[in-house]
Structure 1
């Protein structure tokens, strides 16, 4: 269990931690000189549980609120410290607001310096505290009157903390490892050491991790928990990691993260649910600049409201935070907002989506996405999102934004009302009913084609997939056609698709002429004669033959590769197979024109014509001098 203090300056937070743990958390010379905490300090104590209880002591002065926010980024229990003689003070109220915005519901109030006041004052401050806590997550927190210097009442608080630790449910180890760095330093002979709270997953010695958001690879050399070397640390612990790697090009410090590669998200936009404090001085206007505190990081941001032009005090709304620099975050992370000058806490909330886009999306759709994703349960969130994203989505984006483990993803696939299709190394998901409607739409388009062009062999696959892209992402459109082919609901005829019972018929004259042309094209293999050569061999006028070839190609019996070249469908299929083989053999999934020319033996000029045709037909995609297979 991790306990953090909170409260006004000089109310005895550090003294109380020393009484509970025997450790003075003021480690800086300036703190010793001034007698005041200016940075977060750390201690631990064995309260009889399976693990020692960790304590984070935070500074109380308003000038060091940023340091306080870094200390309470990931805690289990809040210890709100209020001096009996002073009572509730400004930083008491502000620190409590921070705890409430972070959703911390487990805690207690330490009413310190109780030996300096009488019983009436204790009762008076107790009433103030009850009124203060009533509208917050800590409304049920017990109050312990004590004197940390004299020791009176400290044991009762210690026993309460031990009971709280015993009743604390074990933190789930699901998800990929994430540690929020709140301190970093270098040790002679060891190198870089970072400390922080583990928010998710677990880590072992030797694990390969990333510094985030920079994305720099590191390796775990050693792990310490509560000043002891351990082989493993998991969610809910504070630990120190000794890291190795190419660390010369990056400065690691408070606000960075150490994460498993699958949990690395670097984003400049966050979709959030935001709440403005009830005592905020004014409404929060659209595009207000603020200071964002996320994990142990602090950075500038602008608030783009989605539902209203200005958010009233005490109200909440969906918004997008546009960050001044990339940050690491996950769905469910809590954050706090301060005014741009950092003078006061104004609000906070919860991260909904880290894959927020800068693309212009209609505000109603953006809002619908936020509402769908604002579910704690991943299965419910995905089902709701698929109702909004009717064309489908990339499942990996959803999985990464929520930091789901492989086991969680496997359960998600079984429980969600979705259909998934693999393409290009990614998984595309679409609602199951939408998938069935997509298949029905494809069959209807083919049936309509047959009705309008009964003498056509079938529908060009690229055309059919293009018609479906208005209803589904391209990979899902192609996946629907593949599924229909596997089911036998569609049949491939050369480069065309048709219904199983469709049988095209040419009239006798066209059929005879096509047979003559095919007899000239087939023996030539991969390099058929041009139109002029065909016309001479057939004894026809070139214009008359061209008119026939154009018409017969529209029906699917031939493929026009270039203005003066027509190929049999099986010849084009053989050339596409060569492209596919080259792409597979390359190791990168790409090939170039020279390799295709050498493998096919058709010469440079014809190679260019064939490859450009494959691009147009949707078989390949050209970029930067190389091609990749699309289907």
Structure 2
């Protein structure tokens, strides 16, 4: 199947021509038939000589319904441009062509309707003058009359040639832009739309954008026929399970889950159609029309902040319309669907400079270089990288991130400097805390710290932080001298721990003593008791000489210490299973 849209001025015979080609009335509403004017989108289809099908999305020609018109044009790759031979080029013809040109639509047929009433040669000459310089310059033209039938066969042949020349759809996951949503008795919710990319099968789970809901496809129809699957480009109707029609209105999209950049903020390259961009604009993408704010970034780029998210990929074309005036304000090409926040002074200027390095062609190496670091999944969703594709040239891949090689080397070098600087300024805590390292380096994810440390064999990351393999605690000279006096005292009297007042008088603070215990110079017990590191084993050897079992009092006397020291020391022996309890009073030395 091929899908094309109509375009042209109001009352130039678009719907009449479609009816003549297909035998189907595209105007669905009684109001449209009463007024003789297309108000909403219409749909019809016909068979081609080669057995393929051609579906039409008939759009309104009146400027009051421009939003509906753009909803029909957005997802469709080709156009049947209609110009009446007896009236020629008109304002809405120009506006429709301007929109098609901004969307980059290059394939079409020019139908010169009412050929029996006017001068098709003159109408064609005028139309070609207006089409010159647009994406539709040079399209085939056919004079036709839907009333007399003149030229219908030639137009059908031209449409067949158009269909045969259409390029295959972009190689992207499924995305269907919803243009109708309703309920069918006994079936539930049905949505229709143009499947612009990918394929959808019965039983597939799809994501609804912008709501984020996940729903199942219960059934599929194309051109009123039930099918098991549909492939782009196609007009399809999907029967959905677990959603109400109001949850998937026109402008929603059904996409393959986790395969699209669903975003309400993006940086775009601008081709302005008016002198000055509006601060508030409506983004037209597919069948969606989303209001948003526009912030210029340099001469030809802008940041769009939308009222709701849309599914996009890098390089996609969209339209910006000023709600306060008629016509298209600008064409926009998506450069970055996951842009960084602009919070610092001069950030917009720097961002404009970075965007100048992006072509909109989704080149993986350039995308990584501009971002510095980006999650692989984001580049896949943005369409810059295929799932499973090799790491781009000039990038380092770690922990699910792609990092520009220059950025990685800067982090690598800076980490070594930070570790050395921290150890010099914190001799009692030479390990740079991991969270501090992440913050000082500006890493986007703490998971990147471990691979950075691994790239520096002289560093280690453990419970003490990031430090050199041989790094140790360094105490001030006067503190080390006091510690040496304590160790000498304990060497002579192993269980005669200094009182807190004695420790303080010697200049040994809790921080110094804790650091020494961490270094392995002392054994720290509850109650600010500090002994030599082998005190527990020494005590067990002394207590093994006592008659077994023994009391705490007997242990205190054997160890020549105080109750203040004996009780926590015995608890430490219990914890190490050097002693075992008989009851609340008695213990014995464990022989195993």
**Which TM-score applies when normalising by structure 1?**
0.73
| C-alpha distance after superposition, 1:47-96 (max 9, x if no partner) | 14464111111111122222111111111211110011101011111111
Give the counterpart of 1:466 among 425, 432, 437.
437
Q: What's 2:415 paired with?
A: 442
Give the one of 350, 353, 363 matched to 1:368.
353
Q: Partner residue of 2:396?
A: 419
Q: Is the 8 A contact 1:14 1:24 kept in 2?
A: yes
Q: In structure 2, what is the equivalent of residue 394 of structure 1?
A: 375
| Bigger mean CA deviation after superposition, 429-438 or 191-200 | 429-438
SS in 2 for 1:170: coil
Unaligned runs of 5+ residues in structure 1 are 309-316, 524-528, 571-601, 603-631
Bigger mean CA offset, 67-76 vs 149-158: 149-158
1:444 to 1:152, Cα distance in 2 relative to 1, 3 A: same
Post-superposition Cα deviations, 1:559-615, rounded to whole Å, max 9, x if no partner, equal: 999x997999x9xxxxxxxxxxxxxxxxxxxxxxxxxxxxxxx9xxxxxxxxxxxxx
Residues 2 and 55 of structure 1 are in contact (CA less than 8 Å); yes or no, is this contact kept in structure 2? yes
Distance in structure 1 (CA, Å) of the matches to 2:14 and 2:320: 24
Query: Aligned residue for 2:387?
Result: 409
1: CA distance, partners of 2:251 / 2:398? 38
Structure 2 stretches lacking a partner, 5+ long: 534-567, 569-592
In the alignment, what sits opposite 1:431? 404
**Correspondence for 1:169:** 167
Q: Is the 8 A contact 1:291 1:340 kept in 2?
A: yes
Looking at structure 2, the residues matched to 541 and 86 of structure 1 have their Cα atoms a distance apart, in angstroms, of 104
- Structure 2 counterpart SS, 1:460: coil
Deviation at residue 403 of structure 1 after TM alignment: 8.2
Flag the 1:44–1:349 CA change in 2: closer, same or farther, 3 A.
same
Matched, 1:256 2:227: no
- Would the aligned equivalents of 1:197 and 1:238 in 2 still touch at CA under 8 Å? yes
C-alpha distance after superposition, 1:100-133 (max 9, x if no partner): 011101112111112223xxx4333222112111
The reply on whether 1:190 has 2:190 as its aligned counterpart is: no
Distance 1:511 1:480, change over 3 A: farther
Write out aligned runs for 1:223-262 (5 A): 223-247=220-244, 250-262=246-258
Structure 2 Cα separation of the partners of residues 559 and 19 of structure 1: 97
Structure possessing the higher radius of gyration over alpha carbons:
2
CA gap 1:445/1:267 in 2 versus in 1, 3 angstroms? closer
The alignment status of 1:128 with 2:136, answered yes or no, reads: no
Query: Could you give the per-residue CA deviations for residues 528-567 of structure 1, whole angstroms, max 9, x where no partner exists?
Result: x9xxx96439x94334263485288399727999x99799
The alpha carbon displacement at 1:37 in A equals: 1.3
Superposition deviation, residue 304 in structure 1? 1.5
Alignment match, 1:576: none
Aligned to 1:153: 151
C-alpha spacing 1:32/1:553, structure 2 compared with 1 (3 Å)? same
Larger deviation, residues 497-506 vs 432-441: 497-506
Cα 1:481–1:269 shift into 2, 3 Å: closer
| Residues 460 and 204 of structure 1, relative CA distance in 2, 3 Å threshold | same
Q: How many equivalent pairs are there?
A: 524
Give the structure with the larger helix fraction.
Answer: 1
Query: Aligned partners of 1:491, 1:388: CA distance in 2, in Å?
Result: 31
TM-score (norm 2): 0.78
Aligned residue for 2:515?
553
Residues 108 and 142 in structure 1, CA contact (< 8 A), matched pair in contact too: yes
Equivalents in 1 of 2:405, 2:443: separation in Å?
12
CA distance in 1, matches of 2:498, 2:434: 30
Tell me, in whole angstroms, the C-alpha distance in 2 between the residues paired with 1:225 and 1:56: 14
Pairwise mapping of residues 463-502 of structure 1 onto structure 2 (< 5 A)? 466=437, 469-470=440-441, 472-475=443-446, 478-484=449-455, 488-491=457-460, 495=464, 497-499=466-468
